[in-house]
Amino acid sequence: MPRLFGTDGVRGLANREVTAELALSLAQAAAHVLGDGPRSEGRRPVAVLARDPRISGEFISAAVAAGLAGSGVDVFDAGVIPTPAAAFLIADIRADFGVMISASHNPAPDNGIKIFAAGGRKLPDETEDRIQAAMAEPPLAPVGAEVGRITRFADAEDRYVVHLIESLPHRLEGLTVVLDCANGAAAGVSPEAFHLAGAEVVPIGNDPDGMNINDGVGSTHLEHLAAEVLRTGADAGIAHDGDADRCLAVDAHGNVLDGDRIMAILAKAMHARGALREDTLVTTVMSNIGLHRAMREAGISVLQTRVGDRYVLEELGARDLSLGGEQSGHVIMADHATTGDGLLTGLHLLAEVARSGRTLADLAAEVTIYPQVLVNVRDVDRHRADDEVVLAAVAAAEARLGDSGRVLLRPSGTEPVVRVMVEAAELADAESVAEGLVAVVRDRLALPPAS
């Protein structure tokens, strides 16, 4: 049987791939695997359940709740809240695990099921594999008083907002912010949190109807946020995705700040107040060379991981570090969250604007983002990306760019694709170097014609 779990839970087209039957079976298996510890202690397992506002989330969460309760798990149903809020609540009430129903930045017809371990942490691969294997076993079947209860988690949002406000090193009085909530899970809680932090809030994308999540709004459609910031004269704009684990920003001039610039601002602020453990930031290999240069000038080290926020999380945990993330806006502030949190990130970003008295544009200008060219070379043998001629071409390209650029070849994990990424001080140089490397990869790694 192919692996059910992807890089971020189980995801697919709702009611075709992610069905009520699948949700029920997955919940029963999770109850079996993740509830063993509590049952061995003589107590009933407890789980937090939450979802984003997609229509399909209603039947999927109902199936998950039934599967959990029918397996003897007490369920605290938090309703529509962000993914990072669900993760926080699992830790806050010391639940044994939790389930979030969301497909993040995907369009409304998709949905997904994310399972968190105790403490609100992502599951390791081996635990996901155990849950998948348990789906083929008979489910637990308690009866009478042994079945679980389903309780509305009435103060879920309040607990999360209090946590966010208490984490802030500085309040946001004097700032006006446009919040694009992606018609998603943050539509209610994000404007409240920024308002309580002291900002004047102009919300957009905050009217979810179950089908308009991520539809022309949110972190994948920043043009509307930029236009609203310019129209209102706001100090900044913050964009979430559908489940609000991501944050991108726009300055007062309508310029976009990606995750690299956001991380740089946060890292320098934390470094200045002694909150950046080991004076180290964790990023993936896709972070821009401009971030590396800015961090080096600030006396901050950068550790790199594979692409994916789960690998950033692993590195943060293994080394007990406090900040990491991705260009995409998944930023993990490990002292306050166990996953990317778009609200937490946005609040702390604007807290530094308020504290410093500088504009967001001024803070962002301390990172020079180098032009980046990324080419997906298709129909090549990704397993031979270490071909000696290819490696020699990469070495020659690196020598040509010197300290003013960077080259990265990254084979796809699933497709016959090798990704060629080049950064340089000038776009023309990046394009020229990338063109040469692409030609070598195509020539040396071409797949034989189909017979």
| SS3 per residue for 14-56 | ECCCECHHHHHHHHHHHHHHHCHHHHHCCCCCEEEEEECCCCH
* pLDDT score for 78: 98
Mean pLDDT over each residue of the chain, to the nearest integer: 94
* pLDDT score for 451: 57
407, 434 Cβ separation under 8 angstroms: no
Residue 382 has pLDDT above 90, yes or no: no
Report the distance separating Cα 252 and Cα 43, nearest Å.
Answer: 53
Residue 352 is encoded by which pair of tokens? 């530094």
Whether 2 maps to a domain, the answer reads no
State the DSSP code for 323: E
217, 186 Cβ separation under 8 angstroms: no
Confidence of residue 60 (pLDDT cuts 50, 70, 90): very high
24, 59 Cβ separation under 8 angstroms: no
Whether 96 maps to a domain, the answer reads yes
**224 shares a domain with 126:** no
Mean pLDDT to the nearest integer, 247-258:
97
**307 shares a domain with 275:** yes
Terminal-residue alpha carbon distance, the chain: 28
**319 shares a domain with 179:** yes
Does the annotation list 25 as a binding residue? Answer: no
**26 shares a domain with 120:** yes
What phi and psi values does residue 179 have, to the nearest 5 degrees? -110, 120
**263 shares a domain with 243:** yes
Report the distance separating Cα 115 and Cα 132, nearest Å.
Answer: 12
Residue 27 has pLDDT above 70, yes or no: yes
Alpha carbon 174 to chain centroid, angstroms: 29
Cα radius of gyration (the chain): 23
**322 shares a domain with 207:** yes
Residue 40 is encoded by which pair of tokens? 């061995």
| Tens of pLDDT, residues 179-212 | 999 999 999 999 999 999 999 999 999 999 999 9
**357 shares a domain with 408:** no
Residue 414 has pLDDT above 80, yes or no: no
What's the domain range around 413? 372-445
CATH of the domain at 399: 3.30.310.50
| Tens of pLDDT, residues 261-299 | 999 999 999 999 999 999 999 999 889 999 999 999 999
Q: Using alpha carbons only, what angle is made at residue 196 by residues 193 and 200, rounded to the nearest 5 degrees? A: 95
**Domain end (from 91, 119, 154):** 154
Report the distance separating Cα 234 and Cα 95, nearest Å.
Answer: 40
* pLDDT score for 449: 75
Whether 141 maps to a domain, the answer reads yes
**170 shares a domain with 141:** no
**Domain end (from 312, 329, 364):** 364
Report the distance separating Cα 309 and Cα 98, nearest Å.
Answer: 19
Q: Which helix (H) or strand (E) holds 424?
A: strand 417-424
Residue 443 has pLDDT above 90, yes or no: no
* pLDDT score for 345: 98
Mean pLDDT to the nearest integer, 90-110:
96
Whether 247 maps to a domain, the answer reads yes
Highest mean pLDDT (candidates 289-298, 373-382, 408-417): 289-298
Residue 413 has pLDDT above 80, yes or no: no
* pLDDT score for 340: 95
Domain count, the chain: 3
Whether 332 maps to a domain, the answer reads yes
Residue 304 has pLDDT above 80, yes or no: yes
Highest mean pLDDT (candidates 34-48, 157-171, 413-427): 157-171
Report the distance separating Cα 357 and Cα 63, nearest Å.
Answer: 50
Lowest mean pLDDT among 83-87, 200-204, 403-407: 403-407
* pLDDT score for 76: 98
| SS3 per residue for 124-163 | CHHHHHHHHHHCCCCCCCCCHHHCCCEEECCCHHHHHHHH
Whether 200 maps to a domain, the answer reads yes
**148 shares a domain with 235:** no
Confidence of residue 307 (pLDDT cuts 50, 70, 90): confident
CATH of the domain at 337: 3.40.120.10
Residue 361 has pLDDT above 80, yes or no: yes
**163 shares a domain with 148:** no
Max alpha carbon distance in the chain (Å)?
73
The catalytic site residues sit at 104
Residue 72 has pLDDT above 90, yes or no: yes
- In sequence order, which residues have a C-beta less than 8 Å from that of residue 103 and are 6 or more positions away? 11, 52, 54, 110, 111, 112, 242, 243
* pLDDT score for 447: 85
Burial of 10 (0-12, 13-18, 19+ CB in 10 A): buried
**Domain end (from 154, 183, 217):** 154
Lowest mean pLDDT among 14-28, 240-254, 362-376: 362-376
Mean pLDDT to the nearest integer, 342-346:
98
Residue 240 has pLDDT above 70, yes or no: yes
Mean pLDDT to the nearest integer, 386-391:
88
71, 148 Cβ separation under 8 angstroms: yes
Strands (E), 91-131: 97-101, 110-117, 121-122
* pLDDT score for 1: 66
2 vs 47, more confident: 47
Report the distance separating Cα 111 and Cα 218, nearest Å.
Answer: 17
Whether 427 maps to a domain, the answer reads yes
Whether 451 maps to a domain, the answer reads no
Count of CB atoms within 10 A of residue 197's CB? 24
**217 shares a domain with 338:** yes
Residue 42 has pLDDT above 90, yes or no: no
Does the annotation list 71 as a binding residue? Answer: no
**39 shares a domain with 21:** yes
Confidence of residue 358 (pLDDT cuts 50, 70, 90): very high
Look-up: residue for tokens 């806006």?
329
Report the distance separating Cα 271 and Cα 267, nearest Å.
Answer: 6
Report the distance separating Cα 62 and Cα 24, nearest Å.
Answer: 9
Mean pLDDT to the nearest integer, 121-132:
94
Confidence of residue 242 (pLDDT cuts 50, 70, 90): very high
Does the annotation list 125 as a binding residue? Answer: no
Q: Which helix (H) or strand (E) holds 386?
A: none
Does the annotation list 251 as a binding residue? Answer: no
Q: What is the value of pTM for the model shown?
A: 0.91
